[in-house]
Amino acid sequence: MGFFERFSIRFKKVELGTATIAYGILVLIPTLDAGYRLFSTGSIPGLSAHVPHLMLLITALAAMISSANSSHLSMGLDIHKINLTTRRTLGSIKAFFETLVTTTFFIGTVSYIYVAILPDEMGGIFPKQFYSWFLALAFLVILIRWFGAFVSRAEFTFGLLGIVFGLSISLPGITNLLFAWNVEIGDAYFAFTDLWYTFVPPLMPYFAIGLVGAVILGIPIFVVLGGLAVLLFAKDGIGPEIIPLEGVSMLQGSAIPAIALFTLAGYILSGSKAGKRLVLVFKSSVGWIPGGMVLSAVIVSTFFTTFTGASGVTILALGGLLHVILQRSGRLSSETSIGIITSSSSIGLLFPPSLAIILYGSISQIPINTLFFAGLGPGLLFILGMGGYGLYYSIVHKVPLDKFNLRRMKFSLGAGVWELLVPVLIVALYFSGIATLVETSALTVVYTILVEVIIRKELDAKGLLKAIENSLGIVGGVLIILMVARGLSSYIVDAGIPQSLTAWVTASVTSPLVFLLLLNVALLVVGSLMDLFSALFVVVPLILPLGLEFGIDPIHLAMIFLSNLGLGFITPPVGMNLFLSSYRFNQPLGKVYKSVLPFLGLQLIIVFLITYIPALSTLFIPKGM
């Protein structure tokens, strides 16, 4: 093993170790605040101020870990099956855009540190610049790892060319750095920048089109969204500092830490045998009812998606277990079983403490607790709809049922009681007002660690570290997308696109009912082409003014958006969960498409009900909220 390989392995350990410590502190601070409030009022002075800066640190480290594991979200085709010459050509294009955009991120972050942050500006016990340097380091490490992944001379060459173009596009940021460093700049440099402003900005739309087209090559989503923001701002002569400026602002949102913490709690649960216990609970409770096993699988899938925040994780982590149980105990065909698991995986996005709801509330400024209540009606409708299909299947196919066994049910309830108390804990802490959302998420992590590590003893230190690493892979992939997508959202707003779109739609469509129909179609397409988190930051700013223009309640609009996006994940041919299901069950995509079609039709009907019956979205919202 060479020096660089040994260094890379040790560096990865340092990344994970530092991120684990930061994660631990992030759990500790809200927990201490919540405990302090039991004996006093308010929070421990100055303690919670560290949380936004910890989030920046965790985001940077998690993004580095995601790059090391090649787990950044993408939507590309599998180019490995293409012939060698074509593969190298496409790989070179991919390398060019990856290095170009990442270079602009790095330059923009360094410029942001010197231009936007005062040296004596503190972020708790450390200067703010200290935390921001981790973000710059993350982009530099990701850039280096791009080169480590290149397999041909052409990719390496185009990667270097990408750096050159990235430096060129970053010229406004470089100029800001030179001023910040008090470097004497001669007339020749200003003459050069004049040429830059003359020739480079007009080329940016073409680069942007090329970047969008290169999505099919598997370029990570954060590169595409952030790259679009950089290129579009460069068209107007604005430097790449806009990405860290907007991204760091987004990470300071009061609800953002809950994303990382609830995700960690979900992975701790999925790393233990909690899934098996919950399946036994619902099997013994409703397995004797026609369609009961289908309902059980839907509820368990919903539970885990709600906490991990990623429906694909539910498919990968629990798909095999649920598949076996549905076939053996539920007597379902393999095709129907795969369809149910795939179709149920995104229902959890509508239930608290769904990451999707937290983010939607952060973007739209709708109170998150109100959205939590709003999601209950649509979410339960999806569960009842899938359960209704199970009932129909059981009756038509004369599926034999297990006899009700009270002793078995009591045993399974006793065995799964600790996991069943997780949603009870969240409701008791958050909805009662005892704890904030972040404090609730931190206490949920503490609770799951106590249960699975100390009480159950199903996770040792190594297993807990693995759960942390897995959660960091998701957190890094998601939060880095949110950071750079905030920059693209900023451009969309600054360019007046929402207002222009509103004017065009209102001039073309007069009926709110027709608008809702068109909105459903548009969101279905968006959901099948974009991941949820990208869609939130790009699409929500566009539809909010449209909803207001047509008199649609913002809470109702939120439920329309989330239910459509969830449906988009299982919409052929490119719904993301279809690919994950094909991978997990080792089935051709065509078979997966066929398996989900009945449930796609069923859930489409449910989406229309949610769209045209606003009361479903407000059914459980307490009066006066």
The better pLDDT of the pair 423, 556 is held by 556
Please name the residue that has the structure tokens 């076939």.
327
Report yes or no: 441 and 353 within 8 Å, Cβ to Cβ: yes
Residues 326, 225: one domain? no
Does 124 reside within a domain? yes
Q: Considering only 59-63, 375-379, 438-442, 589-593, which range has the smallest mean pLDDT?
A: 589-593
Q: Domains in the chain: how many in total?
A: 2
Q: What is the mean pLDDT of residues 609-625?
A: 89
Does 24 reside within a domain? no
Does 278 reside within a domain? yes
Does 165 reside within a domain? yes
Residues 192, 241: one domain? yes
Give tens-digit pLDDT for 425-435: 887 888 777 88
Q: What is the mean pLDDT of residues 566-593?
A: 77
Does 49 reside within a domain? no
Query: Is the pTM value of this prediction over 0.75?
Result: yes
**Residue 625 has what pLDDT?**
66
Residues 498, 595: one domain? yes
Give tens-digit pLDDT for 382-428: 999 998 988 888 888 777 777 778 888 888 888 888 988 888 888 78
Residues 230, 343: one domain? no
Residues 168, 229: one domain? yes
Last residue of a domain, one of 251, 282, 303: 251
**Residue 616 has what pLDDT?**
94
Q: Considering only 124-133, 172-181, 284-293, 434-443, which range has the smallest mean pLDDT?
A: 284-293
Report CA 540 to chain centroid distance, whole Å.
Answer: 15
User: Of 190-199, 283-292, 323-332, 478-487, where does the model show the most confidence?
Assistant: 190-199
Does 196 reside within a domain? yes
3-state class percentages of the chain: helix first, strand second, coil last, to nearest 5: 80, 0, 20
39 pLDDT band (50/70/90 cuts)? Answer: confident
Q: What is the mean pLDDT of residues 216-239?
A: 88
β-bridge mates for residue 127, sequence order: 122
Distance between CA atoms of 513 and 547, rounded to whole angstroms? 12
Residues 211, 342: one domain? no
* Dihedral over alpha carbons 379, 384, 385, 390 (to 10 degrees): 140
Residues 329, 449: one domain? yes
Q: What is the mean pLDDT of residues 529-558?
A: 83
135 pLDDT band (50/70/90 cuts)? Answer: very high
**Whether the bond into 353 is cis, omega within 30 of 0:** yes
Burial 165-185, CB ≥16 within 10 A → b, else e: bbbbbbbbbbbbbeeeeeeee
Does 545 reside within a domain? yes
Q: What is the mean pLDDT of the chain?
A: 84
In this predicted structure, the answer to whether residue 80 has a pLDDT above a threshold of 60 is no
Residues 238, 275: one domain? no
Distance between CA atoms of 2 and 516, rounded to whole angstroms? 60
The contacts found for 123-126 with CB under 8 angstroms, 24 or more apart, are 123/49, 123/50, 123/52, 123/53, 124/46, 124/49, 124/50, 124/53, 125/50, 126/53
Give tens-digit pLDDT for 438-490: 888 899 999 999 999 999 988 888 889 888 888 887 777 778 877 887 888 78
In this predicted structure, the answer to whether residue 45 has a pLDDT above a threshold of 80 is no
Does 17 reside within a domain? no
Work out the percent of the chain whose per-residue pLDDT is above 70.
93
Residues 216, 81: one domain? yes
Residues 439, 461: one domain? yes
Quote the Cα angle for 474-478-484, to 5°: 150
β-bridge mates for residue 114, sequence order: none
Residues 446, 580: one domain? yes
Q: What is the mean pLDDT of residues 559-582?
A: 81
Last residue of a domain, one of 251, 279, 300: 251
Report yes or no: 257 and 26 within 8 Å, Cβ to Cβ: yes
| Residue 118 belongs to domain spanning | 76-251
In this predicted structure, the answer to whether residue 516 has a pLDDT above a threshold of 60 is yes
Closest CA to 471 of 149, 131, 27, 11: 27
Last residue of a domain, one of 216, 251, 286: 251
Residues 366, 458: one domain? yes
* Dihedral over alpha carbons 554, 532, 574, 319 (to 10 degrees): -120
302 pLDDT band (50/70/90 cuts)? Answer: confident
**Residue 317 has what pLDDT?**
62
- Residue 511 in tokens: 């009926």
Q: What is the mean pLDDT of residues 129-150?
A: 92
Please name the residue that has the structure tokens 């496409």.
90
